[in-house]
Amino acid sequence: DIQVTQSPSSLSASVGDGVTISCRTGQPIDSYLHWYQQKPGEAPKLLIDGASNLQSGVPSRFSGRGSGTDFTLTITSLQPEDFAMYFCQQTFDIPYTFGQGTKLEIK
């Protein structure tokens, strides 16, 4: 299985701050890396596919970068609704695997 290491596991920030979450894979996966947001009691929501393609309706303060083994999700100017869990997922090879998640909390 392709290991996906996500960091940090938790992050505290204030409204208006910018944050970056990282995912590193155990082998190169081209751009087959996707980012999800999950709020308590809800299903994950796809934010970014293919490392950098923002889904329709997702605010432009979210952005993704990377290729190969190193990827980042950046959120600029945090809004109250952004405080949630974030997961990355690789779909380069089966089984698809997820990162451990990053809990973004209000400072």
Partner 1 sequence: QVQLQESGPGLVKPSQTLSLTCTVSGGSIRNGDYYWSWIRQPPGKVLEWIGNIYFIGNTNYNPSLRSRLTISIDTSKNQFSLNLTSVTAADTAIYYCARDFAGCSDVWGKGATVTVSS
Q: Which residues contact partner 1 by CB under 8 A?
A: 32, 34, 36, 42-46, 49-50, 55, 87, 89, 91, 94-101
Query: CB-wise, 74 or 97, nearer to partner 1?
Result: 97
Query: CB-wise, 71 or 78, nearer to partner 1?
Result: 71
CB of 90 to partner 1, least distance (A): 9
CB of 19 to partner 1, least distance (A): 21
3-state secondary structure the chain: CCCEEEECCEEEECCCCCEEEEEEECCCCCCCEEEEEECCCCCCEEEEECCCEECCCCCCCEEEEEECCEEEEEECCCCHHHCCEEEEEECCCCCCEECCCEEEEEC
Query: CB-wise, 42 or 105, nearer to partner 1?
Result: 42
